[in-house]
Structure 1
Amino acid sequence: MFLAAALAGLAGPALAQQTADQCTALRDVVIDAAAVTSARVVAAADTLPAYCEVRATARPAVSIEVRLPMEAWNGKYYQSGCGGFCGVLGRADASGGWVNAMRPGLERGYATATSDSGHHALGVTDGGWALGNPHAERDWGWRSIGETHRVAQAMIGAFYGGASEQAIFQGCSTGGRMAHMAAQRYPEMFDGIISGAPALDYTGLVGTKMSWLIQANTAPDGSQVLGPDEAARIGEAVLAQCDAADGAEDGAIADPRACEVDYSALGLSNQQMDTLMKWREGPRNAAGDQLYPGGIPEGSEPFWWLWLTGNAEGGGKLVNAFAGDFGRYMAFDTDPGPAWTPMDFDFETDPARMSTSAGFYNSDNPDLTAFREAGGKMIVWHGWADAIVTPYKTVDWYEKASAAAGGEDALKENVALFMVPGLDHCGILPGPGGINAAALDPMTPLEAWLNDGTAPTSILAGQ
């Protein structure tokens, strides 16, 4: 697949150890429309080998980090996405997990890289950087993916003397959106792609659907209709009535589409029931047209505190933070600014007012022809208990991608979908039996698929 044109030859795996001087010399590498700002050796620690850490900026403002193994490079490249609105370089690697982190690649001898997606922010729910800044919106939407790859390949060439022979991209949530964007805009750049809980349609998800959830849960007096106490009661009823629908009482709902719940014994008020039904259904306009596929799945209730209702200590309720800054600064053709709130969203007119950003951000095009023709392989995974990025959208995309490919059997030659019962968004919080991101390993089956043609059958760790 694609190799940077400026780099000649292939670097073989398991090269001799690189020196500290070779690492620091990368500070002087000249790259078009980019500049190296630092290069240093980071000692081996925990499961990570010693590596050369390079920081660089691709114009106008994409901050990039590249990590190059000091020895035993496997000749390959691994790039990771970022979560939320990004803006914090290397945030995922600070957690010790693998989602949106360089860790899985570096542990296996890959040269790795990530970026802040083109802006600096105070946190991943901070969207103020986008106010009147279309260049930053473009970079967050798609351009930072290619720029990170370009700068990383220049560093690989300068450090090892040749280009990588294989490239993998991994991301979840916004990183999953980036994964699909990579397959669409850069179909020959990555041989393998891992996409988790992809926020494919940001204007539909964060603009329309999240505003719907917030409006539905806000009483006329401004109070919250459903809180953590109601979430607990609803979750207990759902589990009691739906757990065994798949033939096994294991604390997880295999497919919420098969779940029918009677809430009559819970003592919910009419207003609370109305909110719950709107959450389950998803956004509609006044004519009853579905504006986004599906709502909040049954079985996700244990995670509502983080995303939807908050908890007794005042934590969580991140949907409000994401929807607020997205609408103020990122969503509309003309930014309304800090006075806007999700309560201002108009389901009749506002979806059409996000057309420009939809072109920058959204990666839900089901046509993967170019990626498939290039021989690319993609693993897509999503938790059935995801309360913020609905799994129904991923299923909808997969069904449309199957149709575009000429049938599911044809799509399966390049794309494998895994829907995980009981799993929270990106596996952040532990679900039934402790299921979370640490229980998953999509990297091993992707490597087998790429290297010996064995199609994946599971992404559970150790299987």
Structure 2
Amino acid sequence: MRTRLSALAILLAVASPALAQQDAASCAALRDTVLSAAHVRTARVVEAEGLPAYCEVRATALPAINIEVRLPLEGWNGKYYQAGCGGFCGILGRADASGGWVNAMRPGLERGYATATSDSGHHGLSVVDAGWAHNNPHAERDWGWRSIGETNRVAQALIGTFYGSTSEQAIFQGCSTGGRMAHVAAQRYPEMFDGIISGAPAMDYTGLVATKMAFLVQANTAPDGSQILGPDEAKLIGDAIYEQCDGVDGAEDGFIADPRTCEVDYSGLGLTNQQMDTLMKWREGPRNAAGEQLYPGGIPEGSEPFWWLWLTGNAEGGGKLVPAFVTNFGRYMAFAADPGPEWSPLDFDMEADPARLAMMAQVYNGDSPDLSAFREAGGKMIVWHGWADSIVTPYKTVDWYEKAAEAAGGEDVLKENVALFMVPGVDHCGILPGPDGINAASLDPMSPLEAWLNEGTAPASIMAE
């Protein structure tokens, strides 16, 4: 069993033999647990349909990281499962409300793990609300990295108090921002987690949410402020993509196996020159005036059915989350000195502003290809990404993996600890159903990770059986 920071944390909790009993009384008694730089707020037994009865503990790690820990009353497998959060987070346990597994504690709890998650250090009205970060470097630090370690520390202390020992194995799972957290965990806390699942990782928040998303908004904004590509154009373009590229991989199955192999003739679609210019910019990704690529790749072919949620909106006024994310990130999070509520993505300067993101990149980002400390600790990591992701470009994940392989001394070496799965037809984190209904429910990275950790069997697939 690896030594973790959490092993020290248990020394900070006051435990007694009575608290080791796994029943309602011992759950309630956790309210009196003494923690260093943290306190327990509530502890209660929860019996939820489809889940084992568990002790739900709400705690706060100072100054403001709200944490939820779920401890099975019976059948604890001796292990720990920590979940990330999506967007700018700020809503404790949000992922579990949907019943899915992405960024949720449910997968761990169903398998007997003690589980935990956090709001990453602030309360937000929605996952695109970033007002909490305005001139608040402590909250930005907690969101960037500290909440990962503090959630683990507090959870392990409560686990030790409740069961009488800390966990013998620890797993982290997250997608999008949760995927960023997964990469940050591997780099900042290389011995904390034995296994890590990273989905659609927004590992470079400054490059992705500031530079790339500002570029996408600018490219789709006409001089009069109107939107150039909308939901009608998205469908037109998407239909052409699938007609011309579906069979490139040798099978007409509704999936674009790899958008890099897709070459499309748009000449018969009736798009205006302005619309074509926007489309080509979206495909290429952000560049400066000299034509230098500022972020790896653009929006992949095959992602058009999902554009309404992320890029163009729909006829009912829903979607367009990319403009919302970049607007709030730029106002309150991206720069060392926050420009505030008057800032717009149209204000982002592709020549000067990317360099101004460097300080906050150190706080948020987890895209370093150097996983040497995590690999030396024996950690195993599954990274997955949908090829049809139009908000967190899959090209960045491929680029990171290739650089990580080079840094490790070759892909064969990296594969001993890291497995990458690029999944055709899958939207960002599998939120919306793709061809044949494929979405997050079609995937199961947990089972192969467990087999890798416990049996030494390298993962061959993450598709659910």
TM-score by length of 2: 0.97
**1:21 alignment partner AA:** A
Match of 2:17 in 1: none
- Supply the distance in 2 between the matched residues of 1:6 and 1:408 (Cα, whole angstroms): 36
Q: 2:324 matched to 1:321?
A: yes
Match of 2:391 in 1: 388
Match of 1:291 in 2: 294
Match of 1:28 in 2: 32
Within-5 A mapping of 1:57-136? 57-136=60-139
Taking only the aligned residue pairs, the percentage that are identical comes to 80
Q: 2:48 matched to 1:41?
A: no
SS for the counterpart of 1:24 is helix
Contact 1:78 1:102 in 2 (8 A): yes
The CA deviation string for residues 75-112 of structure 1, in whole angstroms up to 9 with x for no partner, is 00000000000000000001100000000000000000
Match of 2:14 in 1: none
Q: Give the RMSD, CA atoms, in angstroms.
A: 0.9
Q: Aligned in 2, Cα 1:399/1:93: closer, same or farther, shift over 3 Å?
A: same
SS for the counterpart of 1:264 is coil
What is the aligned counterpart of 2:161 among 131, 148, 158?
Answer: 158
* C-alpha deviation, 1:355, in angstroms: 1.4
What is the aligned counterpart of 1:273 among 270, 276, 279?
Answer: 276
What is the aligned counterpart of 1:347 among 341, 345, 350?
Answer: 350
* C-alpha deviation, 1:5, in angstroms: 2.0
* C-alpha deviation, 1:17, in angstroms: 7.0
SS for the counterpart of 1:203 is helix
The CA deviation string for residues 173-206 of structure 1, in whole angstroms up to 9 with x for no partner, is 0000000000000000000000000001000000
Contact 1:17 1:71 in 2 (8 A): no
* C-alpha deviation, 1:353, in angstroms: 1.0
- Supply the distance in 1 between the matched residues of 2:92 and 2:353 (Cα, whole angstroms): 32
Q: 2:215 matched to 1:212?
A: yes
What is the aligned counterpart of 2:409 among 402, 406, 423?
Answer: 406
The CA deviation string for residues 365-395 of structure 1, in whole angstroms up to 9 with x for no partner, is 0000000000000000000000000000000
Within-5 A mapping of 1:178-327? 178-327=181-330
- Supply the distance in 2 between the matched residues of 1:98 and 1:189 (Cα, whole angstroms): 22
- Supply the distance in 2 between the matched residues of 1:367 and 1:242 (Cα, whole angstroms): 35
Unaligned ranges ≥5, structure 1: 9-15
The CA deviation string for residues 308-342 of structure 1, in whole angstroms up to 9 with x for no partner, is 00000000000010000000000011100000010
Unaligned ranges ≥5, structure 2: 12-19
Contact 1:422 1:432 in 2 (8 A): yes
TM-score by length of 1: 0.97
Match of 2:421 in 1: 418
- Supply the distance in 2 between the matched residues of 1:273 and 1:229 (Cα, whole angstroms): 14
- Supply the distance in 1 between the matched residues of 2:153 and 2:351 (Cα, whole angstroms): 42
Contact 1:17 1:72 in 2 (8 A): no
- Supply the distance in 2 between the matched residues of 1:4 and 1:177 (Cα, whole angstroms): 25
- Supply the distance in 2 between the matched residues of 1:6 and 1:140 (Cα, whole angstroms): 21
**2:353 alignment partner AA:** D
* C-alpha deviation, 1:35, in angstroms: 0.5
SS for the counterpart of 1:5 is helix
- Supply the distance in 2 between the matched residues of 1:5 and 1:326 (Cα, whole angstroms): 35
What is the aligned counterpart of 1:19 among 19, 23, 39?
Answer: 23
- Supply the distance in 1 between the matched residues of 2:30 and 2:327 (Cα, whole angstroms): 41
Within-5 A mapping of 1:351-390? 351-390=354-393
- Supply the distance in 2 between the matched residues of 1:320 and 1:263 (Cα, whole angstroms): 26
